[in-house]
């Protein structure tokens, strides 16, 4: 019988995270203090983030960073996740390509987000922090952080993007089951939220605005830190357990990926699956392609601009050098809530600039079509975000079919969609639509990114 899954034992769970910053030929441009334009040092991040993560954020020296025992022990609750050969999906596509996926959906909260949530909650706890705040888009990150907070005995407050709060009430229930406080954002509980609601009382929210609210609450609450589910370098660092496991598992399968594909919101699941393989491109000249699948409704990599910009809507964060649509960009209400973010993380932006990765944009209907085909083949109903990676995989697999090429494709199944069934319902009822942003809209929104010239 053909081997379907490649399974690691607990002892094979990585003991170190991989820090790609140390290996990058061109280091990311510095993060800047928005008022003084001074280059940020770790200490400057301490008011917002825990100290360990602040140091990881700016660490360009250490190629490998130890995973604390307490974090690795919690990883054993659900890791290593399987690497799966998608035989049925290949057959459905009638492609000569070999398609593998890393199944992060089997984590208790249904996605990869737990990998960083556990690490961040642990580092906060170790430092004596008692309360943490965060934002969540689709609710995957909020659910993960809620459980991680519970594990380490922290109080947790989550600002959930309002459109997701309404579209995905069960995500909210999941966070509440773990014991978190969940507030739809924008809310009247912060200055940032009030400002947004004053300007537009029916604002649907976005990751950018929810981040502003969570940071504001963290700054105003004693012994409280903010945590972020993507974008930041330390989050991407924690997610490298995905790719490090996948690397061993691809060896078990006796293959090496020609392409690595992941959906792209802030970049954490993309980084997680990509960096460990990308280091062989950087260090040994391997030629693997790394493809970020972003929604056409929020095309920062394919149509954005490399600029210094804020990470949040209200402008509370440091200035980040990144591909952005402008921090004032208002993404359309697509169901892939986790991809509705205006910018790409700093490391990915530099890698993109330097040609180590590429990007493709996927329309909403195409993403669900691919997701349904995948569900009917492999059994797993993918999260709307993951559907974007699957759609990009379909594109490449069909190119292989046309060219008669037996390429090896690896994609990250970042999460399942069992809590997103209302979006599938709408897809089947024909109530979903595609969104195309005009060049004018992008140009207008990009004005908000032009910080250094202001």
> Binding mask 143-162 vs its own copies (x if CB under 8 A, - otherwise)?
----x--xx-----------
Structure tokens at 116: 């960083």
Which listed residue (29, 106, 282, 332) binds its own copies by CB under 8 A?
106
How far does CA 404 lie from the centroid of its chain?
A: 33
Element (H, E) at 273: helix 268-284
- Of residues 175 through 194, those in contact with its own copies by CB under 8 A are 176-179
| 418 touches its own copies (CB under 8 A) | yes
| 332 touches its own copies (CB under 8 A) | no
- Of residues 387 through 416, those in contact with its own copies by CB under 8 A are 416
| 378 touches its own copies (CB under 8 A) | yes
Residues 6+ apart with CB under 8 A from 23: 63, 279, 282, 283
**What is the rounded distance in angstroms from the CA atom of residue 135 to the CA atom of residue 208?**
9
| 381 touches its own copies (CB under 8 A) | yes
Distances (CA, A) of 47 to 116, 236, 340: 20, 21, 26
Q: Which is nearer to its own copies, 356 or 374 (CB)?
A: 374
Phi, psi (degrees; rounded to nearest 5) at 206: -160, 165
Residues 6+ apart with CB under 8 A from 103: 81, 82, 83, 84, 380, 413
Helical pair 169-178 and 140-151, crossing angle rounded to 10 deg: 10
| 312 touches its own copies (CB under 8 A) | no
Q: Which region, judged by CB under 8 A, interacts with its own copies, from 159-167, 169-177, 298-306, 359-367?
A: 169-177
DSSP 67-87: PPHHHHHHHTTTPSPPEEE-H
| 366 touches its own copies (CB under 8 A) | no
Which listed residue (242, 375, 410, 449) binds its own copies by CB under 8 A?
375
Report the nearest approach of its own copies to the CB of residue 253 (Å): 12
- Decide: 235 and 311 in contact? Cβ < 8 Å: no
- Of residues 263 through 292, those in contact with its own copies by CB under 8 A are none
Which listed residue (380, 383, 390, 449) binds its own copies by CB under 8 A?
380
List contacts with its own copies (CB under 8 A): 1-5, 7, 9-10, 69, 72-73, 76-78, 84, 88, 106-110, 114, 147, 150-151, 169-170, 173-174, 176-179, 372, 375-376, 378-381, 416, 418-419, 421-422, 424-425, 428
């Amino acid at each position: 019988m053909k081997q379907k899954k490649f399974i690691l034992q607990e002892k094979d769970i990585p003991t170190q995270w991989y820090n790609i910053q140390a290996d990058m030929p061109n280091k990311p441009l510095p993060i800047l203090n928005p008022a003084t334009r001074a280059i940020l040092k770790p200490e400057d991040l301490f008011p917002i983030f825990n100290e360990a993560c602040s140091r990881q954020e700016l660490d360009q020296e250490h190629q490998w960073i130890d995973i604390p025992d307490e974090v690795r022990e919690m990883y054993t609750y659900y890791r290593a996740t399987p690497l799966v050969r998608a035989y049925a999906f290949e057959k459905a596509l009638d492609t000569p390509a070999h398609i593998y996926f890393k199944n992060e959906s089997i984590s208790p909260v249904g996605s990869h987000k737990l990998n960083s949530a556990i690490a961040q909650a642990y580092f906060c706890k170790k430092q004596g922090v008692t309360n943490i705040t965060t934002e969540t888009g689709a609710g995957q990150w909020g659910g993960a952080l809620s459980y991680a907070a519970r594990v380490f005995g922290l109080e947790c407050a989550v600002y959930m993007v309002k459109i997701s709060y309404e579209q995905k009430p069960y995500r909210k229930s999941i966070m509440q089951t773990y014991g978190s406080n969940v507030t739809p954002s924008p809310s009247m509980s912060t200055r940032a939220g009030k400002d947004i609601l004053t300007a537009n009382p029916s604002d649907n929210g976005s990751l950018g605005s929810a981040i502003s609210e969570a940071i504001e609450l963290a700054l105003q609450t004693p012994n409280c830190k903010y945590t972020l589910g993507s974008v930041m370098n330390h989050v991407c660092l924690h997610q490298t357990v995905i790719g490090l496991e996948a690397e061993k598992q691809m060896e078990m399968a006796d293959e090496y990926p020609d392409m690595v594909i992941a959906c792209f919101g802030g970049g954490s699941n993309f980084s997680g699956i990509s960096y460990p393989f990308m280091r062989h491109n950087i260090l040994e000249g391997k030629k693997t392609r790394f493809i970020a699948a972003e929604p056409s409704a929020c095309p920062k990599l394919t149509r954005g601009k490399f600029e210094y910009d804020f990470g949040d809507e209200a402008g509370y964060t440091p200035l980040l050098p990144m591909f952005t649509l402008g921090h004032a960009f208002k993404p359309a209400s697509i169901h892939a809530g986790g991809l509705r973010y205006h910018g790409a993380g700093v490391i990915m932006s530099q890698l993109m600039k330097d040609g180590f990765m590429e990007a493709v944009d996927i329309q909403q209907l195409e993403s669900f079509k691919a997701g349904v085909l995948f569900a009917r083949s492999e059994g797993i109903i993918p999260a709307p975000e993951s559907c974007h990676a699957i759609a990009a995989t379909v594109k490449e697999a069909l190119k292989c079919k046309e060219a008669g090429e037996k390429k090896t494709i690896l994609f990250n199944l970042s999460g399942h969609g069992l809590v997103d069934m209302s979006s599938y319902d709408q897809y089947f009822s024909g109530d979903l639509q595609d969104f195309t942003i005009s060049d004018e809209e992008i140009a207008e929104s990009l004005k908000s990114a032009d910080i250094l010239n202001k």
